[in-house]
Amino acid sequence: MNSRLATHVRAILGVLLLVSAFPAQSQEEWPSRPIVVVVPFAAGGRLDRVARAFAPYLGKELKVPIVIENRAGASGQVGVQYFLQRPADGYTLVAGAQPNFSTPIIFQKAPFTLGDIELLNAHEVGGVSITVLSESPFKTFDDFHKAIKAQPGKITIAFPRGGSNQLLALLLKEKLGWDVLLVPYDSGAATRTALLGGHVSAIINGAVTDAEMKPRVRSIALSTPTKLSVWPDVPYINDLLKTYGTQIP
């Protein structure tokens, strides 16, 4: 029986998983030719950058070229379905994000299940940042919250579609009663571009990749209580939410 393997990045829960497709038996010594790593999001996003950073080390270890192939669309569904349609011969991997695998299954009736993939490697722990432009009037999370309450329907928050970034936005909207415009994008790169272009008020995105935009941006809250060297003085979101009598998972 063939088994399916794939790669995930978890932002709030914090794990990146590397997964692939291997047969139970093979008639050739593996690997003997290039391996394709499918990234189910657009080039330039956090997951794409992690996969491209990881690829040279995987290639050196396996002694074959590692080719990154971006297949974006439908909150990652396009790339995952493409991966699952490839031969289960060990020459196609998928770099993906969890809960980006789960949310299309639960909310979009994706034509695959978590049982179709198997974990090969947990690679990265990451955090989510609420990020604004440096010239933004929102110096703190409290400033941001007060502005949302004072201007219902006027503040815009962008995020990559379908993962923990979107879940954090929805949780904050629900728990704090925010009347905001939520703007999903197909990748972290597009989300960052929207902020830098002044098209949105704030973004909820990968903390480390957002920090690469400094000094043009600043973070006002992080999803992790673990201090990040790139944002050493930014508070943990649940510490901030105590003021409002709520918490997030």
At 30, the amino acid letter reads: W
Cα dihedral 44, 50, 54, 56, rounded to 10, equals 20
- The secondary structure of 28-43 as a DSSP string is S-S--S-EEEEESS-T
Determine which of 194-203, 205-214, 231-240 has the lowest per-residue pLDDT on average: 205-214
Whole-number Å distance between alpha carbons of 202 and 106: 27
Residues 6+ apart with CB under 8 A from 227: none
Residue 193: Cβ within 10 Å count: 15
Weakest-pLDDT range from 18-22, 43-47, 163-167, 192-196 = 18-22
Write the Ramachandran bin of 245: left for phi over 0, alpha for psi from -120 to 50, otherwise beta: left
Tell me: the pLDDT tens digits for 186-197?
Answer: 888 889 999 999
pLDDT score, position 16: 41
pLDDT score for 26: 53
Over 70: is that where the pLDDT of 2 sits? Answer: no
Cα separation of 21 and 93, whole Å?
A: 6
Residue 17 pLDDT exceeds 70: no
152-156, 175-179, 198-202, 209-213: least confident range: 209-213
Q: Report the percentage of the chain scoring pLDDT > 70.
A: 87
What the block records as the tokens of 129 is 């940042």
**pLDDT tens digits for range 40-95:** 888 877 788 888 988 999 999 999 999 999 998 777 788 888 998 998 888 998 88
Tokens matching residue 21: 């497709």
The C-alpha atoms of residue 215 and residue 225 are separated, in whole angstroms, by: 23
Give dist(CA 120, CA 23) in Å, integer: 14
- What is the mean pLDDT of the segment spanning 210-219? 96
Radius of gyration of the chain (CA): 19
Strands (E), the chain: 3-6, 8-9, 16-22, 35-39, 66-70, 92-94, 118-119, 121-122, 128-133, 156-160, 181-185, 202-206, 217-222
% of the chain residues with pLDDT over 90: 49
The pLDDT assigned to 122 comes to 61
Mean pLDDT of the chain: 84
**Share of the chain residues as helix, strand and coil, in percent rounded to the nearest 5:** 35, 25, 40
**Please, are residues 209 and 52 in contact by the beta-carbon 8 Å criterion?**
no
Q: Calculate the dihedral angle through the C-alpha atoms of 153, 158, 162, 167, rounding to the nearest 10 degrees.
A: -60
108-139, pLDDT tens digit by residue?
Answer: 788 887 778 877 776 666 789 999 999 999 99
> Which two structure tokens, joined as six digits, stand for 119?
């974990």
